[in-house]
Amino acid sequence: MKRLFAAIKITPDEHFLSIYYNLVKRLEKECIKWVKPQNFHLTLKFFGETTEDKIEIIDHGLNKIASVLSPFNIKIQNTGIFGSRYNPKVIWFGIEDGGHLAELAETTLTAMDEAGFARDRQNFVPHLTVGRIRRLSDKQHFQQTIKKFAEANLMEMQVNEIYLYESHLKPDGPVYETVNKFAF
């Protein structure tokens, strides 16, 4: 069994990393589990524990999707939270894509549903999770910091492939191994 998901890989540039590390530094006294930059991705479909024989079905579906797509650009910008202002759970960077990413996600979910992998219950909200909040000691400082980064422009990049990743859960955080990639 392999813990699998389909995603778009995000490779941050220097400007992106500068903003990210500045945010981390400003919130270093808080109990936040930060996502390692090498693990940044946009999940299109989480498969979970998957048997080896199903990987070929996933590969076929993702290859079919990629064969009809054209590259498109996304902008990673803005900072926000999931959860309430008083009980935030996740820090994210937003994604602006002119609808292409939502279309890709919908196409992926539909194709994988037809291949026997049930659709996710949640609506697709394009975002990049950068931190998971465990506990805050100074909520006012946290809110002020998020507000300072709210309109940050991090980077623009071209999306031209889908990755199939295997997730290995480790005590110091997940490690993602590329199983396959599908260029378009």
Residue pLDDT, tens place only, 96-117:
988 899 899 999 999 999 999 9
Q: Does the CA dihedral 120-123-128-131 come out positive or negative?
A: negative
Query: What is the predicted pLDDT for the residue at 16?
Result: 98
Pick the catalytic residue from 15, 41, 100, 168.
41
Residues 6+ apart with CB under 8 A from 146: 79, 80, 81, 88, 91
100 is catalytic: no
Assess whether pLDDT exceeds 90 at residue 123: no
* Position 69 confidence tier, pLDDT thresholds 50, 70, 90: very high
Amino acid at the residue 134: R
Query: What is the predicted pLDDT for the residue at 99?
Result: 87
Pick the catalytic residue from 15, 127, 141, 168.
127
Range 2-183 classified under CATH 3.90.1140.10: yes
Q: Hey, where are the domains in the chain?
A: 2-183
Once rounded to an integer, what is the mean pLDDT over residues 54-70? 96
Q: What is the pTM of this model?
A: 0.92
Q: What is the largest CA-CA distance in the chain?
A: 51
Q: What's the CA gap between 116 and 138, in Å, rounded? A: 46
Once rounded to an integer, what is the mean pLDDT over residues 41-60? 96
Residue pLDDT, tens place only, 15-37:
999 999 999 999 999 999 999 99
168 is catalytic: no
> Looking at 83-87, 108-112, 128-132, 166-170, which range is the least confident one?
83-87
Q: What's the CA gap between 53 and 130, in Å, rounded? A: 33
Once rounded to an integer, what is the mean pLDDT over residues 47-63? 96
